[in-house]
Amino acid sequence: MIGAYGDWASRIAADPARLSFRRPEFKDVTAWKRRARARFTELLLPPGPAVTPQVTVQHAQEFDGLSIEHLSWQLSYGPPTEAVLMKPLGAKGKLPGVVGLHDHGGNKYFGVRKITMATKDPHPLMVKHQERYYSGKAWANELARRGYAVLVHDTFAFGSRRVRAADLAAAVKGNLVERDPESTEEIEKYNQFAGQHEHIMAKSLFSAGLTWPGVFSYEDQRALDYLCARPDVDAARVGCCGLSGGGLRTVMLTGLDPRIKASCAVGMMTTWRDYLLNKCHTHTWMCYVPGLPLDLDYPEILGLNVPAAAMVLNNSQDQLFTLPEMERADRILGEVYKKAGAAEKYKCGFYPGPHKFDADMQRDAFAWFDRWLK
């Protein structure tokens, strides 16, 4: 990607990486996980201590066979987080829980609404979004109807957590304004601005001693704290799932947190070599943890939670990755799970078509959760 300077690739040519479980010196999976997860957490540079947020129920409703709670909580930085908790109407007892992780999609104005539906009159941009990526379905609703408590929250820089024009310095803001925030024209202008200024966000985070994955993973863990603490959720049967940026968040959250007993990462699996040599220009700054490729390849982050059940769903014509490196990532994870004696807990699928989480993929993901969480 960068001409002669691509010799840097030799730094990750040594495979397996330094803390890969595939290395012969690592024989005890528990000891390896403790060491490798500690290193992963150290490199993420999370923004604060683990504090379960105080959650406010803004209002509750019944919609399309679901009981829906609209929630908010305040972290120690930034605007309040908005979220929804969905479960089957009339459900009793403790349910398995899933953290639904919304995608990036070049659309930071929206978060929760990308994968949920709580009204018969959704924003037209969200109708198009779900048609493009999700076979026209709000997949979080679909999963909740199968008997799950599904929590979906806005994460850092999206939806209620997005950077607002009024908070920006003039040199950065330019002519960005918020007069009619729900107008399609204004939303599209905001998303264009947000996409062009990811490098400024990343540099700001680095300058503060933080990383972008460290921030969103911290926020995803706080959402998991709340889900596990609910009296209607069985904290021993909790998982997470997401497409694209949500798949990235699934990989990171699964690797960080042993409370995740089953996960499904969709449209976001490859190797650091693929990013370096082929595809870094197609991806958000949200992907990168400085120094991590020397210790763990990207798929091995997901493997940090072995023997928890892990599913990876790929699209064979996904424009964000190369097929050979997606296949190599599958082999890496297969080796990790086999060595740990948990080969049956890992499953990978390849589906025809471009970047998406379509109805067929949703069917298989939901069956995976049924197998391991119900």
User: In tens digits, what is the pLDDT along the chain, a chain of 374 residues?
Assistant: 677 777 777 776 678 999 999 999 999 999 999 999 999 999 999 999 999 999 999 999 999 999 999 999 999 999 999 999 999 999 999 999 999 999 999 999 999 999 999 999 999 999 999 999 999 999 999 999 999 999 999 999 999 999 998 898 888 888 888 889 899 999 999 999 999 999 999 999 999 999 999 999 999 999 999 999 999 999 999 999 999 999 999 999 999 999 999 999 999 999 999 998 888 888 999 999 999 999 999 999 999 999 999 999 999 999 999 999 999 999 999 999 999 999 999 999 999 999 999 999 999 999 999 999 99
Please report the pLDDT score of residue 1 as a whole number: 65
- The whole-angstrom separation of Cα 284 and Cα 367 is 30
Please report the pLDDT score of residue 132 as a whole number: 98
Report the DSSP beta bridge partners of residue 242: 101, 265
Please report the pLDDT score of residue 169 as a whole number: 87
- Top-tier CATH class for 55-373: alpha beta
Residues near 129 by beta carbon (within 8 Å), at least 6 away in sequence: 105, 107, 110, 114
- The whole-angstrom separation of Cα 224 and Cα 238 is 9
Please report the pLDDT score of residue 13 as a whole number: 62
Residue pair 343/119 in contact (Cβ under 8 Å)? The answer is no
- The whole-angstrom separation of Cα 167 and Cα 155 is 18
Please report the pLDDT score of residue 8 as a whole number: 72
Q: Please state the pTM of the whole predicted model.
A: 0.97
- The whole-angstrom separation of Cα 156 and Cα 76 is 12
Q: Name the residue ranges covered by the structural domains of the chain.
A: 55-373
Would you state the structure tokens that stand for residue 165, as one six-digit string? 């024009």
Please report the pLDDT score of residue 127 as a whole number: 98
Please report the pLDDT score of residue 4 as a whole number: 74
